[in-house]
Structure 1
Amino acid sequence: MPTVLVTGSNRGIGLEFCRQYAEAGWKVLACCRRPEQASNLRGLATEWPSVSIHQLEVENFDQIDALAHALASEPIDVLINNAGVYGGSSQNILGTLDYDLWARVLKINTQAPVKMTEAFLPHVLRSQRKLVLAITSLMGSMGDNSSGGAILYRTSKAALNAAMKSIAIDLKPRGIGVLILHPGWVKTDMGGSNAPTSPAESVAGLRRVIEDFKPGDSGRFLDFRGRELPW
């Protein structure tokens, strides 16, 4: 039974990843900040015994190390770095930026996926599929940015893209693949109700990209339909 680890698994895209992988017969390591409040995730774990829930605050790097130690015996075929934050609405006008919040957004959206990859590298190396995912955003693309604004979020995702591109190159000799994936504009708490794509559609597309992965794909920036995106 292959194993997937998902951060930010209590809602939206993360929860849908857990649902679809459980239904496909995978072992699912579902990580979230407050398991006691994650009623939908707990319901999924009741329905599918292959789903286990693990408390994890990704901005707490000691917790990441502790969870990696606790799961030391687990090979992880696909590591999905999904947890992220937007950073609020005051991101557009110079003079109103919250720099402490910006630092937190960078830690959660950029540094935490790198730390997760570092901490769980031995687990991925022991697996069959050996794949690391970063769920990013087209808003991290400088080539696509024609509207400005969203400085905290855009910079965190642009930095994530750059970091994971480097990691893809660094890990290629060890047989680990890295995908940098844009899930689309999705109907979630972050994406809002006007988004055109459902979590189920997005995750189904992302899983097709994962299943079709070839070593030459490592380090590519793709959307949930498998289309190349501009950096």
Structure 2
Amino acid sequence: MMPNVLVTGSNRGLGIEWVRQYAEEGWRVFATCRHPAEADDLKALAHSHRSITVHRLDITKPDDVNALARELRNESIDVLINNAGLYLEKYEEVSLDNLRFDDWELTFRVNTLGCLRVTRALKPMVAASARRLVVAISTHMGSITEIETADAFYYRSSKAALNASMKGVSLELKPLGIGVLILHPGWNNTRMGGPDAPFRPVDTVAGMRRIIERFDMRHTGRFFRFNGEEIPW
């Protein structure tokens, strides 16, 4: 049977590259985004690959998450890729005096709580699959060991919380045979990463897919760069 993958935040950047590569490998792809009607590139990709279906999902809205879970309740999801993320800060905001707490809370709702909300809701579909793997797209900026500059407070802390949460989730899901991978895609030339970024989504997604293909339960709950190197917490 054709394996299934679900990708959140799939309308641009890394998300649409996940969708493209899996579709070209013959996977069935559930591609989710907040505004499907406006996702022209994703719709065009879906038009050219019949294995792609596009679904509305705002990971910060419980009603959206629950509606998607109901829609897919009879499906299996071999690989769940929690790709949707948010970066709101400007690099000049590097002190306590410049923090915007509303933006910080929104960043947590997307980067941390959204991933956990989706994982919880879709756990039965992952458990019903052959591969049974949950992937969280994080960043080395969420590694406390690697913090060397006073910047990106919202993003760093939200991803550090994501890492800690998904480590705990990996321990809960392990007895069910469900694995968890936490992956750092590097600094990519996307709308979030900007034009000066050294990596291309086509290369970093291919690298992360290789990690996924090599996954076994010895890797569950661990944190890897897209090139396969393990990252300290």
Partner of residue 67, structure 1: 68
1:144 is matched by which residue type in structure 2?
Answer: E
* 1:15-35 residue CA offsets vs partner (Å, 9 max, x unmatched): 000000000000000000111
Which residue is equivalent to 2:185?
183
Name the counterpart of 2:25: 24
Match of residue 84 from structure 2 = 83
CA distance in 1, matches of 2:93, 2:224: 26
Stretch deviating more after TM superposition (88-97 or 219-228): 88-97
* Letter matched to residue 146 of structure 1: E
Matches within 5 A, 1:97-176: 97-176=99-178
- For the Cα contact (< 8 Å) 2:22–2:29, is it kept in 1? yes
Amino acid at match of 1:157: K
Tell me the CA shift for residue 230 of structure 1.
1.1
Tell me which stretches of 4 or more aligned residues in structure 1 moved more than 4 Å.
none
Counterpart of 1:3 in structure 2 is 4
Partner Cα separation in structure 2 for residue 12 and residue 91 of structure 1:
25
Note if contact 1:91-1:152 (Cα within 8 Å) is conserved in structure 2. Answer: no
Deviation at 1:91, TM superposition (A): 4.1
Q: Deviations over 1:64-95 (max 9, x none)?
A: 01110111111000000000100231642212
Q: Which residue number in structure 2 is paired with residue 44 of structure 1? A: 45
C-alpha distance in structure 1 between counterparts of 2:121 and 2:174, whole Å: 17
Q: The residue matched to 1:120 in structure 2 has which SS?
A: helix
Q: CA deviation at 1:209?
A: 0.3
Read off the aligned partner of 2:211 and give its amino acid letter. V
Q: C-alpha separation between the residues in 1 aligned to 2:54 and 2:214?
A: 28
**Residue 183 of structure 2 aligns to a residue in which SS?**
strand
1:10-60 per-residue CA deviation (whole Å, 9 max, x = no partner) reads 001000000000000000000001111111100100000100000111111
Stretch moving more, 157-166 or 144-153? 144-153
Structure 1 unaligned blocks of 5 or more: none
Secondary structure, in 3 states, of the residue corresponding to 2:80?
strand
Q: Which amino acid aligns with 1:13?
A: L
Q: How far 1:171 moved relative to its partner?
A: 0.6
Q: How many corresponding residue pairs? A: 231
The amino acid across from 1:19 in the alignment is: R
**Aligned match of 1:228:** 230
Name the TM-score, length of structure 2 as normaliser. Answer: 0.98
2: CA distance between counterparts of 1:91 and 1:32? Answer: 29
TM-score of the aligned structures, taking structure 1 as reference length: 0.98
Give the Å deviation of 1:62: 1.5
> What do the CA deviations read for 1:111-139 (whole angstroms, capped 9, x no partner)?
11011110000000000000000000011
Contact 1:75–1:127 under 8 Å retained in 2:
yes
Structure 1 distance, partners of 2:152, 2:232, is 18
Q: Which amino acid aligns with 1:76?
A: I
- Identical residues among aligned pairs (%): 50
Does structure 2 conserve the Cα–Cα contact (< 8 Å) formed by 1:132 and 1:179?
Answer: yes
Quick check: 1:45–1:51 contact (8 Å CA) kept in 2? yes
CA drift at 1:61: 1.4
Say whether the 8 Å CA contact 2:95–2:150 is kept in structure 1: no
Distance 1:29 1:19 in 2: 11
